[in-house]
Structure 1
Amino acid sequence: MAGRRAKGRREVASVQHSEGDRRDFLYLATGATAAIGAGAAIWPFISQLAPDAGTIAAGAPIEIDLAAIPDGGQIKILWRGKPYFVRSRTEAEIKAAVDVEMSALRDPQPDAARVKEGHAKWLVIAANCTHLGCVPLGNQGDYGGWFCPCHGSHFDTSGRIRKGPAPTNLPVPQYTFISDTRIRITGAAATV
């Protein structure tokens, strides 16, 4: 009988050890499931704190293909929520902009300071009138540049104020030529 008890105890001991392993496994499985569930429940709250794709994209530089803009034509783009003009100037428009007497300008700035060296054909400017922020119309006005119909400001083919209430020229943003037919705008135009 003593042998049976010893044998029975061994069986009980091994059964208890086996039940302990199962209990430990169940605790671990339950804890892991709870942790995954808690993570899944909290994730939407954490992810909503991140900026949206529009905000991330708004700070990125923008590249513009110039090949599609005909001579004398322009495009208007939106970058960082603000409009910009990219204009392909004709030889006559460039000559008119270069030949202006600086004393005739309200905000004197030579054409060469408003375009990139070797790329006088391309003018990139902010598309908001410096008077009250209206968007001027291209290829119009007394000087063939832009005309703001809201308050009557006239800009020449270099985006310089020539007539009307606007106090300063249309600002030029920071941009670089990637190739002869492609630019990258990297910084906003200086505000007035």
Structure 2
Amino acid sequence: MSVHDTAEPSRRDFLYIATGAAGAVGAAAAVWPFIDQMNPDAGTLALAAIEVNVSSVAPGQSITAKWRGKPVFIRQRTPEEIEQAKSVPLADLKDPVARNQNLPADAQATDANRSAPGKEQWLVMVGVCTHLGCIPLGQQGPYNGWFCPCHGSSYDTAGRIRQGPAPENMAVPPFEFISDTTVRVG
């Protein structure tokens, strides 16, 4: 064993470690703005949940609220519209899946699985056509539901795709009635 073999770190070892640590901190500081810009902006976070007063919506009427930058259709359906939606056999549906975020992903697209639990007259859905993201027109088309004039997709009174190029039913966002007149979306 020579005089120069020691277990003690040398000054050179310390400088290597300090330089590496400073480089790592500098790289992290340089990369952080790129990572941080991927977070949702404050406006999106503020709209993570909205509360909508539906007391003035009469049967047969709907309102549109904005949630996470998308329109949400809230409709109080008439008894005739409910019966029309209930009478559709599942085999006639283009998309047999409910697309309701409040239910399991494989729930069937029955009228009950598309409407508000215990308040079947209420329909809450993201008002975006599932074909190319257009905004369908309400109480239009051959099924008296929603019609997207851009490419001809028709939805029934439960927001289920019935004809046209749209591949899926309109999505039902997470929602709940927090009172008889207020629905929380998100």
TM over 0.5: yes
CA gap of 1:101–1:56, structure 2 versus 1, over 3 A, is: closer
Matched residue, 1:91 = 79
Matched residue, 1:185 = 185
Secondary structure of the equivalent of 2:150? Answer: coil
Secondary structure of the equivalent of 2:171? Answer: coil
Q: Which has the higher contact order (CA 8 A, sep 6+)?
A: 2
Aligned-partner residue type, residue 58 of structure 1:
L
Give deviations 1:7-61, integer Å, cap 9, x for gaps: xxxxxxxxxxxxxxxxxxxxxxxxxxxxxxxxxxxxxxxxxx9x975244133x1
Q: CA RMSD in A?
A: 1.8
1:82 aligns with 2:70: yes
Identity of aligned pairs, percent? Answer: 54
Matched residue, 2:146 = 146
Matched residue, 1:161 = 161
Matches within 5 A, 1:87-126: 87-108=75-96, 109-126=109-126
| Aligned counterparts of 1:56 and 1:105: Cα–Cα separation in 2 | 35
Which of 51, 62, 68 matches 2:56?
68
CA gap of 1:55–1:152, structure 2 versus 1, over 3 A, is: closer
Q: Which runs of 4+ in 1 moved over 6 A?
A: none
Larger helix share, 1 or 2:
1
Matched residue, 1:58 = 47
| Aligned counterparts of 1:66 and 1:157: Cα–Cα separation in 2 | 19
Unaligned stretches of 5+ residues in structure 2: 1-36, 97-108
Matched residue, 1:172 = 172
Q: Which moved more, 1:74-83 or 1:136-145?
A: 74-83
| Aligned counterparts of 2:169 and 2:180: Cα–Cα separation in 1 | 26
Task: Give the C-alpha shift of residue 117 in structure 1.
Answer: 2.1
Give deviations 1:76-111, integer Å, cap 9, x for gaps: 111111111000100000000001011110112101
| Aligned counterparts of 2:148 and 2:64: Cα–Cα separation in 1 | 15
For these two proteins, the number of residue pairs brought into alignment is 137
